[in-house]
Structure 1
Amino acid sequence: MDFGVKGKVVIVTGGATGIGHAIAKTFHEEGAVVVINGRDKAKLDAAAAAIGANAYGVVADLLTAQGAETLAKEAAALGPVAFLVNNIGVFDVNDFFEVSDARWMEYFNHNIMTAVRITRLLMKDMLARNEGSVAFISSEAGIRSIGNMVPYSVTKTAMLGLSRSLAELTRGTKVRVNSYMPGTTATESVAGYFEGLAKEQGKTVEEALRDFYRDVQPSNLTQTLIDPAMHGRGVIQLMTNTAMNGVCHRADGGTIRSIFG
């Protein structure tokens, strides 16, 4: 299927690893010019090489306004940015009563403000050109609030609100803004979490995963971690479907018991 992205510029923030890397790879396979960002040049160069010949790594820290400006400028040198995937995010398991104000602000800066900074720069140009698509990578935790991941859940819920609010600014144009909610995915960070959990509990990783789905996500219909490549396919479909604007696409393995999304 031709998604119509050949030769077009896409930015995938935090695209060096995990879900972002899978999304970047899918766009590249479909012929897009892919730009990813990060803070470590060596890792970025390796990630871009793994994605393909038309992938570029830009050293830019979106925790700062200057970093966002650098990324926007470097990407624009390759052509108008047609697609923006806001993928940067952090998560950890924590005790709500022990999370400091400073840590809360770190969550908001990583999970919300990185997306605000780069979208603020690029979306105005998209509206002026009357062309463009923005996606926010949220999480099932944005709806299925998690008690031992409160800051993560709250910021991912906020991202859903941000996405829908920005979609309201596109009325009558060919610019679209949507969000995407992946479930628990077999990324490097998630694998590390389950490895640590298994060691702590004296189990194999397979046993830890089995117990996770039995005790924590019994409603999950697939009962397995999601292949990141599936999110690459899901996001490119969402971002190129002109009938979808202001929506949230759920790809959580059926964990959330809802007929919507």
Structure 2
Amino acid sequence: MLIDLTDKTAIVTGSTGGIGFAIAQGLAASGATVIINGRTQTSVDNALKQLKTALPEASVRGVAADLSTAEGLATLQAAEPKADILVNNLGIYGQQDFFETSDEVWQQFFDVNVLSGVRVARAYTPAMVEKGWGRVVFISSESGLNIPADMIHYGFTKSANLSIARGLAKRLAGTGVTVNAVLPGPTLSAGVGEMLKPIADKKNISLQQAGDEFVRAKRPSSIIQRIASSEEVANMVVYTCSHQASATTGAALRVEGGIVDSIG
């Protein structure tokens, strides 16, 4: 299967590192013009430099904007008024006991993980509908199905991503615009690597080995019994954004190694 996204413009939110950067690189490698997004100009510039080093012929631009705010969306729209592909990857996570999670933290997670995607999808999908072609992807998580007891506020937002993706897909029925959710599991992104580094250093093992041990200890239902790579998640997203995925919409596409014990 040859995925060719030449002449398509893709916005990937929160894409200066981790899974978002891997998605941006995968889309660029498939010929799309990719818009990198992060909160600071420095992080955007660094990501653009890294992407151009990996793919010298890639067409890439960047916009520094905090999409958890309406002002951030206005900045993005002013710089990039239209897109054919939108990947709502922006998100934060963190462990915190339910009884110690304040209103402010709940609101922060909602603004970043949920409302940012709502805003951006609301802004960009009408032009896709007018054109008769578009791809919208929400990055959810297996935590949206298996709500972690130590991250209930995070799991809630990832369940919300699933609801929004399904509902928006139905709202856009018959338009040529597909909307899907992709559900990663534990993934060896830069952020997770930082979390695992003290464990790896203490045991004198690699980050990959530390990640695999984490999966076996904390997600024992995993079928692959290892941590995934950002590129493995990106591969699913790139396919979902392709012409070949034209009959896939309203779906929750799992890239979580079989952690969710369900055949549905």
Q: TM-score range by the shorter chain?
A: over 0.9
1:1-261 paired onto structure 2 within 5 Å: 1-52=1-52, 53-76=58-81, 80-197=82-199, 203-204=203-204, 208-209=210-211, 211-240=213-242, 241-260=245-264
**In 2, Cα distance between equivalents of 1:227 and 1:209:** 10
Greater shift in the superposed pair: 211-220 or 35-44: 211-220
Gaps of 5+ in 2: 53-57
**In 2, Cα distance between equivalents of 1:59 and 1:192:** 24
Q: In the superposition, relative to structure 1, how do residues 208 and 50 fare at CA in structure 2: closer, same or farther (>3 Å)?
A: closer
Q: Shift of the alpha carbon at 1:228?
A: 0.7
Q: Shift of the alpha carbon at 1:212?
A: 2.4
Residue 84 of structure 2 aligns to a residue whose secondary structure is strand
Residue 181 of structure 2 aligns to a residue whose secondary structure is strand
RMSD of the TM alignment (CA)? Answer: 1.6
Residue correspondences, number: 255
Q: Shift of the alpha carbon at 1:124?
A: 1.5
Q: In the superposition, relative to structure 1, how do residues 205 and 98 fare at CA in structure 2: closer, same or farther (>3 Å)?
A: farther
Question: Does the 8 Å CA contact 2:223/2:258 hold for their aligned counterparts?
Answer: yes
Q: Deviations over 1:234-256 (max 9, x none)?
A: 10111220010100100001111
Residue 34 of structure 2 aligns to a residue whose secondary structure is strand
Residue 81 of structure 1 aligns to a residue whose secondary structure is coil
Gaps of 5+ in 1: none
- The normalised TM-score by structure 1 is 0.92
**In 2, Cα distance between equivalents of 1:6 and 1:12:** 16
Residue 221 of structure 1 aligns to a residue whose secondary structure is coil
Greater shift in the superposed pair: 22-31 or 231-240: 231-240
Q: Shift of the alpha carbon at 1:58?
A: 0.5
Q: Shift of the alpha carbon at 1:204?
A: 4.4
- The percentage of aligned residue pairs carrying the same residue is 36
- The normalised TM-score by structure 2 is 0.91
Residue 164 of structure 1 aligns to a residue whose secondary structure is helix
Q: Shift of the alpha carbon at 1:38?
A: 1.3
Q: Deviations over 1:123-162 (max 9, x none)?
A: 1221122211100000010111110111110100011001
Question: Does the 8 Å CA contact 1:126/1:132 hold for their aligned counterparts?
Answer: yes
Q: In the superposition, relative to structure 1, how do residues 58 and 229 fare at CA in structure 2: closer, same or farther (>3 Å)?
A: same
**In 1, Cα distance between equivalents of 2:205 and 2:121:** 38
Q: Shift of the alpha carbon at 1:211?
A: 4.3
Q: Which residue of 1 aligns with 2:55?
A: none
Question: Does the 8 Å CA contact 1:7/1:33 hold for their aligned counterparts?
Answer: yes
Q: In the superposition, relative to structure 1, how do residues 245 and 58 fare at CA in structure 2: closer, same or farther (>3 Å)?
A: same
Q: 4+ residue runs of structure 1 moved beyond 6 angstroms?
A: none
Residue 11 of structure 1 aligns to a residue whose secondary structure is strand
Q: Shift of the alpha carbon at 1:213?
A: 2.9
Residue 177 of structure 1 aligns to a residue whose secondary structure is strand
Q: In the superposition, relative to structure 1, how do residues 5 and 100 fare at CA in structure 2: closer, same or farther (>3 Å)?
A: same
Q: Deviations over 1:43-73 (max 9, x none)?
A: 2111012223411110111121121122123
Q: Deviations over 1:143-190 (max 9, x none)?
A: 111101111101000110011111111112101110000111010111
* Paired residue type of 1:74: A
Question: Does the 8 Å CA contact 2:183/2:256 hold for their aligned counterparts?
Answer: yes
Q: In the superposition, relative to structure 1, how do residues 129 and 209 fare at CA in structure 2: closer, same or farther (>3 Å)?
A: closer
Question: Does the 8 Å CA contact 2:10/2:86 hold for their aligned counterparts?
Answer: yes
Q: In the superposition, relative to structure 1, how do residues 205 and 92 fare at CA in structure 2: closer, same or farther (>3 Å)?
A: farther
